[in-house]
Amino acid sequence: MTTTAHDPGAPSADNPGRADIRARTLRRDRWWLAPLVNALGLATFVVYATIRSFWGSAYYVSEYHYLSPFYSPCFSASCVPGSSHFGTFLPEFPPWLPLALLSLPFLLGFRLTCYYYRKSYYRAFWMSPPACAVSEPHGKYTGETRFPLILQNAHRYFFYFAVLISLINTYDMLVAFQSDAPDGSARFGIGLGNVILLVNVIGLWLYTLSCHSCRHITGGRLKHFSRHPVRYRIWTGISALNTRHMLFAWITIGTLILTDLYIMLVASGTISDLRIVN
């Protein structure tokens, strides 16, 4: 897609015989509201995630083993002690490098190439089109046929990494059920942070498994469902989830921000964790 200026209302020799309607759209409903809300929502997430990824502190509550998803997995020697559940095989990072350097690009790539988010940001930011039957402001359009947008076809490869990272997030969530006892030993405990982490992980799995690429890989690519009854059942289940992919996409934006924010507030001592058990 290009950014060539275009007056959608101008009559064009390239549109022979079309009704010469100069208005960009004749729609009278609030068609601009959905792209506006999408733009605000996505921008909020991008700004928050960027700031927090580079923040470099208040991401781990050592007492309750809460680890922010924006810092998982933490492989650098710069990570707070206890936050590296899988070792620190990477050296210390300079402050301008995010500690979750190995996972964030894949998570970003997974959401950036997601079939739902593509619709959302093509409409909200690129205005291609801003809404149905509303002219886009570009003079030329090549869609996803060329570089760089042809790279959107890599979505399934990001999906594979997203599954791996969801497994890591699940492990982080399970580890957090162990809190530190006064004598320094580990004991089972549940706090509000655990509930938030659990909800976030459930949301992440629902979003990841409802992905269109997952739907294709598990069964969609088959021509004969009848020869693969197990894969057909999986495909049927994923298809049911897939109809709510947009919902899960937005829910996980909310849960990711909420989880990180809560952990940041507890880790920084701004609030204390509401404990339910131990």
Partner 1 sequence: MGYRAKFEVWRGDASGEGALQPFEVDVNEGEVVLDIVHRLQATQAGDLAVRWNCKAGKCGSCSAEINGRPRLMCMTRMSTFDEQETVTITPLRTFPVIRDLVTDVDFNYVKAREIPSFAPPEDLAPGEYRMSQVDVERPQEFRKCIECYLCQNTCHAVRDHEENKEEFAGPRYLMRVSELDMHPLDVRDRKDAAQDDHGLGYCNITKCCTEVCPEHIKITDNALIPMKERVVDTKYDPLVWLGRKIFKREDLEAKHATGRRSLDDAGPDNGSPLPADSIGPVGG
What DSSP designation does 5 have?
Answer: B
CA triplet 258, 105, 78: central angle to 5 degrees? 75
Binding flag, residue 26, partner 1 (CB under 8 A): yes
Number of residues counted as binding partner 1 (CB under 8 A): 55
Report the nearest approach of partner 1 to the CB of residue 51 (Å).
29
Pattern of binders to partner 1 over 134-153, x per CB under 8 A? -xx-x-xxxxxx---xx--x
Of the residues 147, 224, 230, 270, which one makes contact with partner 1 according to CB under 8 A: 224
Widest pairwise Cα distance in the chain? 84
Pattern of binders to partner 1 over 68-107, x per CB under 8 A? ----------------------------------------
Alpha carbon of residue 243 to chain centroid: 17
SS3 90: strand
Of the residues 93, 106, 125, 225, which one makes contact with partner 1 according to CB under 8 A: 225
Please answer whether residues 210 and 245 qualify as being in contact, where contact means their C-beta atoms are separated by less than 8 angstroms.
yes
Residue owning tokens 């050296």: 91
Segment 157 to 216, residues that bind partner 1, using CB under 8 A: 212-213, 215-216
Task: Centre a 10 Å sphere on the Cβ of residue 86 and count the other Cβ atoms it contains.
Answer: 11
Binding flag, residue 15, partner 1 (CB under 8 A): yes
Of the residues 3, 7, 11, 181, which one makes contact with partner 1 according to CB under 8 A: 11
